[in-house]
């Protein structure tokens, strides 16, 4: 499987302009490539394409040269000229700019051969990083809207729904409900007017798959929406995008305009008589709006408060009409299923979890980025095989899956398969697909506090269990991390967590205690150490740690003394220095500056 086959035979320089790479300066790099090629008078034979995310975000800006797929990571402006010169001279590559898995390792020439890509299976991301997301012709050349055409020409809505059901596709937003079933409910709901909503309110910290899909291949999402609309009998759709994603909004708007111009959205699509229009709504910054009923309230112009279900949106959603809400990744799967068939899709994955899943692999991992893997792969294969293991060759301590609604898997459980049921059994969830790797420097109590802080702040306040329960839980966890923990706190947390889970109104509250519960379950001894011994083994809890200078390593260079903002370090030149625990504000500036790694946090 090579994700980077060229659209045409000519040479194409693909520069990633996804948010990650763009923030690293890839837009300027793309301009520089264009200028260099124009200067060489090679405009006819070489094309520069600004693509969406390639996946290996930690190595951005990423440049891939087709037809061979030569891969250049971390391309800076000063490398452009040499790459172009070599390319135009004999079609070759500059080997010193190639990717190396380690400093002294042999370079890897082709992107497909990088270990990060080897085990991936790109279905949703098949055009991501290949096409120019702002040019519909690029997408059309690689099969965009073929699924919509096939559905309109050969399938009636009922058999279309049956096909999606048979594929076994489950919602990728978190809950994992069968997509075809959701469509069936919405189609069967009485009412003339129905809506399709694409949920792109990706709020989980550490998750960026939806953003990357929209930025890299917006047409894949629009096509999925149009097919869904045809299936359920809707003529109007909304994409609700998180406000923090301006590039995604921009590309989506361009894509909608281009699709309308080509007759792929709007009136009488492809001459079939079917009409479907899409509007974009930007969120205004509320995590709870990822919950479907809150999202609907937000589109209606209200405060984003969730409602009691039933009635489910499938029967009474936007403006009280039957509404089908699907996540971005879910919708981006649809066209592939229609074109390749339900059986082909169902053959990927495991018995209860079909197809592929995209994960945002981040944290203390060597290669962070966006990965799409078949369901059923083990977490270990993903973290070690694709992600290259923990940064700096350390062992990973835990993997947090599913963001603030998910849980932490300890190292011993990394052989758990990525499946809805298997992950639920160990306390985590597939969720939206955030996967954060942590090592011994992360305190699990502090990590739980981090997630709880997030959910507590984002609790909308409508129901008491979530509003008050998460607040009380946060107070307890915080006092534990501050060395004020009391005997019985762990039990109190467990009880509160159970109450909040069972009594909260929506998914936010029902899952908010998960990070606390899983860390207590797998790392109970860390909680106990904090409470009983006032000890944080990771040295992450500021109140429980202090800095010391290793006299054996200290050369007395006084760099730390110079950088200490409060004058807490003293010592004679060329003699080991000392830190005053009373004066130290634990800012860590000394650690940053010590040339001999002599200062430790203990």
Bridge partners of 196?
237, 324
Contacts of 207 (CB under 8 A, 6+ apart): 360, 403, 431, 432, 433, 434
Give the nearer residue to other proteins in terms of CB position, either 303 or 574. 303
Q: CB 355 → other proteins: shortest distance, Å?
A: 23
β pairing state of 356-363 and 434-438 = parallel
Give the nearer residue to other proteins in terms of CB position, either 247 or 548. 247
Coil, helix or strand at residue 448? helix
Give the nearer residue to other proteins in terms of CB position, either 446 or 529. 446
Q: CB 404 → other proteins: shortest distance, Å?
A: 8
The separation between the first and the last C-alpha atoms of the chain, rounded to the nearest angstrom, is 48
Give the nearer residue to other proteins in terms of CB position, either 284 or 602. 284
Give the nearer residue to other proteins in terms of CB position, either 147 or 434. 434
Question: Pick from 83, 194, 173: which is nearest to 403 by CA?
Answer: 173
Q: CB 474 → other proteins: shortest distance, Å?
A: 15
Alpha-carbon gap, residue 50 to 493, rounded angstroms: 49
β pairing state of 70-72 and 63-66 = antiparallel
DSSP 241: E
Q: CB 358 → other proteins: shortest distance, Å?
A: 13
Give the nearer residue to other proteins in terms of CB position, either 353 or 514. 514
Give the angle subtended at the CA of 193 by the CAs of 254 and 165, to the nearest 5°: 80
Q: CB 363 → other proteins: shortest distance, Å?
A: 5
The number of C-alpha atoms within 13 Å of 388 and in the hemisphere containing its C-beta is 20
**Would you give the distance in Å from CA 545 to the centre of its chain?**
32
Q: CB 334 → other proteins: shortest distance, Å?
A: 23
Binding-site ranges for other proteins (CB under 8 A): 19-20, 23-24, 57-58, 60, 202-208, 211, 243-245, 281-287, 298-304, 319, 360, 362-364, 368-369, 400, 403, 434, 436, 438, 442, 447, 450-451, 454, 458, 460, 565, 587-589, 592-593
Q: CB 253 → other proteins: shortest distance, Å?
A: 13
Give the nearer residue to other proteins in terms of CB position, either 354 or 364. 364
Q: CB 396 → other proteins: shortest distance, Å?
A: 11
CA dihedral of 388, 373, 252, 239, whole degrees rounded to 10: -120
Alpha-carbon gap, residue 544 to 148, rounded angstroms: 59
Three-state secondary structure readout of 130-193: CCCCCCHHHHHHCCCCHHHHHHHHHCCHHHHHHHHHHHCCECCCCCCCEHHHHHHHHHHCCCCC
Give the nearer residue to other proteins in terms of CB position, either 203 or 376. 203
């Amino acid at each position: 499987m090579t994700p980077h086959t060229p659209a045409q035979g000519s040479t194409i320089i693909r520069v990633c302009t996804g948010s990650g790479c763009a923030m690293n300066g890839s837009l300027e790099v793309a301009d520089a490539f264009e200028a260099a090629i124009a200067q060489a008078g090679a405009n006819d034979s070489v094309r520069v394409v600004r693509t969406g995310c390639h996946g290996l975000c930690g190595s951005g800006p990423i440049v891939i040269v087709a037809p061979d797929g030569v891969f250049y990571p971390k391309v800076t402006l000063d490398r452009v000229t040499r790459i172009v010169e070599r390319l135009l001279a004999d079609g070759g590559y500059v080997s010193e700019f190639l990717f190396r898995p380690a400093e002294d390792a042999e370079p890897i020439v082709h992107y497909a051969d990088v270990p990060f890509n080897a085990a991936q299976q790109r279905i949703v991301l098949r055009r991501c990083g290949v096409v120019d997301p702002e040019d519909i012709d690029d997408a059309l050349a690689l099969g965009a809207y073929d699924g919509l055409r096939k559905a309109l020409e050969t399938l009636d809505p009922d058999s279309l729904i049956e096909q999606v059901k048979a594929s076994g596709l489950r919602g990728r937003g978190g809950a994992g409900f069968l997509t075809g079933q959701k469509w069936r409910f919405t189609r069967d709901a009485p009412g003339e007017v129905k809506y399709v909503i694409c949920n792109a309110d990706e709020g989980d910290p550490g998750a960026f798959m939806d953003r990357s899909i929209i930025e890299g291949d917006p047409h894949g999402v629009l096509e999925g929406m149009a097919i869904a609309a045809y299936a359920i009998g809707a003529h109007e759709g909304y994409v609700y995008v998180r406000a923090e994603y301006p590039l995604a909004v921009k590309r989506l708007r361009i894509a909608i305009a281009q699709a309308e111009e080509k007759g792929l959205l709007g009136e009488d699509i492809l001459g079939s008589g079917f009409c479907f229009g899409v509007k974009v709504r930007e969120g205004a910054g509320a995590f709870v709006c990822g919950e479907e009923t809150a999202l609907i309230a937000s589109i209606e112009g209200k405060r984003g408060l969730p409602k009691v279900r039933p009635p489910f949106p499938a029967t009474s959603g936007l403006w009280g009409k039957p509404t089908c809400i699907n996540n971005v990744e879910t919708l981006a799967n649809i066209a592939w299923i229609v074109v390749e068939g339900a059986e082909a899709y169902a053959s990927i994955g495991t018995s209860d979890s079909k197809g592929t899943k995209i994960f945002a692999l981040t944290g203390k991992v060597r290669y962070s980025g966006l990965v799409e893997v078949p369901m059923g792969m083990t977490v270990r294969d993903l973290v070690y095989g694709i992600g290259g293991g923990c940064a700096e060759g350390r062992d990973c301590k835990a993997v947090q899956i599913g963001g603030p609604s998910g849980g932490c898997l300890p190292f011993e459980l990394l052989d758990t398969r990525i499946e809805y049921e298997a992950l639920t059994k160990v306390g985590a969830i597939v969720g939206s697909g955030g996967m954060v790797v942590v090592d011994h420097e992360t305190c699990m109590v502090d990590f739980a506090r981090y997630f709880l802080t997030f959910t507590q702040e984002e609790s909308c306040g409508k129901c008491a269990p979530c509003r008050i329960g998460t607040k009380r839980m946060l107070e307890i966890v915080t006092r534990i991390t501050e060395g004020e923990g009391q005997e019985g706190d762990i039990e109190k947390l467990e009880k509160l967590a159970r109450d909040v889970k069972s009594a909260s109104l929506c998914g936010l509250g029902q899952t908010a205690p998960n990070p606390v519960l899983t860390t207590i379950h797998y790392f109970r001894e860390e909680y106990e150490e904090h409470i009983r011994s006032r000890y944080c083994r990771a040295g992450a809890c500021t109140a429980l740690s202090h800095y010391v200078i290793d006299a054996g390593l200290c050369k007395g260079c006084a760099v730390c003394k110079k950088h200490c903002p409060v004058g807490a370090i003293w010592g004679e030149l060329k003699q080991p220095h000392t830190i005053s625990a009373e004066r130290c504000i634990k800012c860590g500036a000394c650690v940053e500056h010590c040339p001999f790694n002599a200062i430790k946090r203990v």
